[in-house]
Amino acid sequence: PLDFAGKIAQKLGSNIREEVVHAVDGVSLHVNKGEVVSLVGESGCGKSTLGRMVAGIMPPTSGEILYKGQNIASLTGEDAREVALKVQMIFQDPFASLNPRLRVRDIIGEAPLVHKLTTAAEQDDYLDDVMLRCGLDPSYKRRYPHQFSGGQRQRLGIARALAVQPDFIVCDEAVAALDVSIQAQILNLFIKLREDLDLTYLFISHDLGVVEHISDRIVIMYLGRVVESAPTEELFAKPNHPYTQALLREIPRLDARHADFTPIEGEIPSPLDPPQGCHFHPRCPFATDRCRQEVPQLKSVAPGHMSACHLNEG
Ligand code: SF4
Ligand code: MG
């Protein structure tokens, strides 16, 4: 059963050039219930914008976001409230914008009370359960955000999201700011929570290496477009799109598979003025005249594996 689906476009006004820019252009993405999908690309590719739209924080200017078959923009009242709780977003440092004078108890515990997921009498026990699930000592609830390390803060951010009993979580660079050893701990926590609570995730990351081990499927974005989508093992074993191939070569590895470290040539063009045709053509070693003129469409190259490159059309 399809849990989330969307075909969307997003325009962002720009005061630099006074023109409208497609941050995300004609992207179609679906996430099945229980699946872990990662959206990967360099900064400025539109993946955070897409994540915000999926999480309902930013409306698309055209197209729609479907959650369990319903267009979330058309929901009102109780239905809208339900989706706002069921779809949660976790950021790189969720506590960065929070009131430093509030204790953890108030930061995490207030929403479940307001939304009647617990009662005032049971709020403390409810909070203890959520914190334990996230590997946090419940006594921490009397502390303030600044009293925590980066890894603990991310656990608190996860606890805050889980406290409202979501079933779909969008994680935007949720481990990017953490040390490698802490990253692994938090990724393991995400995996455990998925098993315990039957969660569905959309991970957003600039780093293919980070999401390799947690993702069922990986979607690669470049300058506002999806260029490739495949099951994780297939993507790593048989990357189709030249951009994906270049990203894979950038992952530093100890094993020989991708040992030839070669950075992708050229700068990422401005999303304000993306190249005509295939957006990747100025950096692609295989570009032809056709690539400079014609936008390649996403086409199936193997079961469950889509890629948008003219090389596939012979
Ligand atoms: Fe390269 Fe052309 Fe394929 Fe784009 S369509 S990735 S420029 S070969
Ligand atoms: Mg971002």
pLDDT higher than threshold 50 for residue 135: yes
Please name the residue whose Cα sits nearest to atom 3 of ligand 1. 309
CA angle 56-31-110, nearest 5°? 40
CATH code of the domain in which 267 resides:
3.40.50.300
Residue 299, beta-bridge partner list: 307
Ligand 1, residue 286: give the atom nearest the CA.
8
Q: How many CB atoms within 10 Å of residue 158?
A: 25
pLDDT value of position 74: 85
Ligand 2 center–CA 306 separation, angstroms: 24
What are the Cα distances from residue 46, in Å, to 104, 223, 291?
32, 6, 21
pLDDT value of position 14: 31
pLDDT value of position 295: 94
Best residue among 221, 247, 286 to mutate for probing ligand 1's pocket (most ligand atoms within 8 Å of CB) is 286
Question: Is residue 50 within 8 Å of 38, Cβ to Cβ?
Answer: no
Q: What is the ipTM of this complex?
A: 0.95
Q: How many CB atoms within 10 Å of residue 145?
A: 20
The pairing of beta strand 225-231 with beta strand 217-222: antiparallel
pLDDT value of position 235: 97
104-117 average pLDDT score: 93
Query: Model-level pTM?
Result: 0.87
> Cα separation of 243 and 182, whole Å?
29
Beta strands in 2-107 (DSSP E): 2-14, 19-32, 36-40, 62-67, 70-71, 87-90
pLDDT higher than threshold 70 for residue 197: yes
73-94 average pLDDT score: 88
Containing structural domain, residue 231: 2-313
Checking phi first, is residue 277 left (phi over 0); if not, alpha (psi -120 to 50) or beta? left
pLDDT value of position 19: 35
Phi and psi angles of residue 156, each rounded to the nearest 5 degrees, phi first:
-65, -40
Confidence class of residue 273 from pLDDT cuts 50, 70 and 90? confident
pLDDT higher than threshold 50 for residue 92: yes
Question: Is residue 66 within 8 Å of 4, Cβ to Cβ?
Answer: yes
Q: Which two tokens stand for residue 156?
A: 């608190």
pLDDT higher than threshold 70 for residue 122: yes
Domain total of the chain? 1
Q: Which two tokens stand for residue 211?
A: 């999401």
47-73 average pLDDT score: 84
